Amino acid sequence: MKIKINKNKLIILVSLFLVLSVLSSCSQEDLGLPVSNTETREENEQNRNSLSEEELFLEMKAKQDKNPLKDINIRKAILHAVDRKSIVDEIFNGYNDISNSLFAEGSPFWDPAWAEYDYDLSVAGEYLSKAGYGPDNPLYITIRAVNNSASKQLIENIIRQDLEKIGINLWIYNDPPKEFYQNHVYSGTFDLGLWSLYVFGGNELQCSFSSDKIPPMETEENTDCENFYWYSNTEVDNQLRQIAGIEDLEGKKEKITELQEVLAKDAVLLPLYSRLFVFAYDASLRSIELDVMEDRVYFNIEQWALPSGLEVPEGEKTEINIGYESDNVDIFNGFEPYFINDLLFKGLWKKNQDGSFSSEMVEENPEILKDEEMAMYSNSLFIRLRDDIFWHDGDPIISEDVEYTFEYLREFMEDRQYFSNIDQDLKKIQDIDIVDDKSFNIVFDEYIDDWQKLFPMIFKKDYFSNGNYDNLQYSRIISNGPYKVIKYDSEGELVLEINEYYYNDIPEIERLIIKFDPDIHNLIAMLKEGEINFLSIPVDPELMKILEDENDMSLAIKKGNLVEHLALSLKPKEE
């Protein structure tokens, strides 16, 4: 039987066969056709394996919300997840504790506003869950600090481990100090950061938390823009303006307490601990009370008491030796008060723990009067000196000494681009107008909130006869404080003795020998051998315990006005 074939159909069949043959001999990729899902996954896996761990982290971070910390639930989750006690115990081994305030304990403005953020992973997890994250859907954020601090690196690792427990993956970046502050803190290019916040009298809060103090807003008129958190809250702005205008301590305390409560509620930062000042001293010394004023410690040696029952041979003086880590002693220290020049020079007013001022060598503490109708402050103040104040050579302290000090400091600082924290404000005083030996007027060109700070030390008229204190022989210093200079040895010793003309109570310790050495290890060795009775030592728990247990020393530990904290950046980031 014959089969009849249609030629046209045969041609079509043969052509189709040839095309299928070609297709079967070519890969899909060669033809530009989509690959299978299995092959896609394998290729992606190969590409991911070629990425570094950091690149993988940043890739995951790029896929999430660019501004995760704008969610207060995430911020509160972080604050509850950080085990601050572990951090403090690891660093200080029992010699410090958690800070729950922006102010050190002992400050009139201390308030435990952050006590609500106890370490609680379940609460932290609940907050994070509200934001849509958790162990099954981790949040990726970074933390930054300086690269030259072992304690900060320890803190970062503890925080990383804590946050991982609730579903936050943390990548750590450590930068050189200059790069860290310039490129990241000032620009807000971080998620979490570690640095210290300085707060003493409360006025510093304006620079750190006011919405018009975000760094890019800084100008010649709007200075000290240190709101590195990029935080903005109208209620806080109003509170800060009110605090700046309050002089009454109780009123100021109330407002600063309210402010801290709002900052804590908004979870802008988490205080970790206050920086410490540690001093070791002979356990037989009594009444060792120290004051922390701003970023310095004052020894209050005037109140120190010697060992009970101490017998001093006739003709000799009671004395103690104080160690000082330095290659020299700069008594004037840029005309800023510190423990040595505070023993030699007093000013017209003294600064208190709350940042206010009280009378020192003046009869009373005057107030600049304000004309409420004109909304203007008086441009002058009448001041009267106490009658019982003298230089250690017996001469009375008079108005001409105050005028001389003011004119010398102003002229001296004009020759320098920057010398101390009072040089700019000195220019706001027009003149010292003498009325008589004990009375004068301070005439202002411009109102200054804390004008009393401009008179921290008073010098005798014509004291710097050569025009420069750098060339002054320390043995020629004429003091008005509790002590006077007897001897200065540039090789390492400064000797002070009682000023018999001092107007307050005469100290019990009649002679102070300050031994200075730039090598703290030498000074510690002298302390252990009993050659030094008092020394500022490093915050080293092991050393501190050795001195207490093996060397019959006592420790004076004071919390400073620097609060180490975890900062959260609220800077909006581009989507």
Question: What's the token pair of residue 215?
Answer: 């760094």
- The pLDDT > 70 percentage for the chain reads 86
Residue 77: is it exposed, middle or buried by C-beta count within 10 angstroms (0-12/13-18/19+)?
buried
pLDDT band at 410 (very low <50, low <70, confident <90, very high): confident
Check whether 22 has a pLDDT greater than 90. Answer: no
Question: What's the token pair of residue 244?
Answer: 């700046």
Check whether 151 has a pLDDT greater than 60. Answer: yes
DSSP string, 274-335: EEEEEEEEETT-B----EEETTEEE--GGG-BPPTT----TT---EEEEEEESSS--SSGGG
Check whether 255 has a pLDDT greater than 50. Answer: yes
Among 11-15, 445-449, 490-494, the minimum mean pLDDT is found in 11-15
pLDDT band at 32 (very low <50, low <70, confident <90, very high): very low
Q: Where are the alpha helices (DSSP H) in 50-139?
A: 53-62, 72-81, 84-92, 121-130
Domains and CATH numbers, the chain: 55-275+563-568 (3.10.105.10), 286-532 (3.40.190.10)
Output 19 or 556, whichever has higher pLDDT. Answer: 556
pLDDT digits (tens, 9 = 90+) for 375-391: 445 688 899 999 999 99
Check whether 418 has a pLDDT greater than 60. Answer: no
Q: 339: closest CA among 516, 553, 548?
A: 516
Check whether 367 has a pLDDT greater than 70. Answer: no
Residue 85: the pLDDT is 97
Q: Which helix (H) or strand (E) holds 47?
A: helix 37-49
Nearest-angstrom CA–CA distance, 439 and 492: 41
Residue 225: the pLDDT is 96
pLDDT digits (tens, 9 = 90+) for 288-314: 988 888 888 888 898 999 888 788 888
Averaged pLDDT for residues 433-452: 89
pLDDT band at 416 (very low <50, low <70, confident <90, very high): low
Check whether 198 has a pLDDT greater than 50. Answer: yes
DSSP state of 467: S
Q: Which residues pair with 324 in a beta bridge?
A: 516
Check whether 79 has a pLDDT greater than 50. Answer: yes
Nearest-angstrom CA–CA distance, 124 and 122: 5
Q: Which helix (H) or strand (E) holds 21?
A: helix 7-25
Give SS3 for 507: coil
Check whether 14 has a pLDDT greater than 70. Answer: no
Mean pLDDT, the chain, rounded, equals 86
Cα dihedral 467, 469, 475, 480, rounded to 10, equals 90
Give the CA angle between residues 406, 410, 414 to the nearest 5°.
175
Nearest-angstrom CA–CA distance, 140 and 138: 6
Name the most confidently modeled range: 266-270, 348-352, 410-414. Answer: 266-270
Output 65 or 11, whichever has higher pLDDT. Answer: 65
Output 247 or 286, whichever has higher pLDDT. Answer: 286
Nearest-angstrom CA–CA distance, 189 and 173: 12
Residues 6+ apart with CB under 8 A from 347: 337, 360, 361, 455, 456, 457, 458
CA atoms within 13 A on the CB side of 505: 9
Total residue count of the chain as it appears in this document = 575
Averaged pLDDT for residues 454-479: 80
Residue 234: the pLDDT is 96
Q: Beta 511-517 vs 493-498: how paired, if at all?
A: antiparallel
Phi first, then psi, for residue 568 (nearest 5°) are: -120, 130
Give the type of residue at 70.
Answer: K
Residue 10: the pLDDT is 38
Q: Which residues pair with 143 in a beta bridge?
A: 172, 192
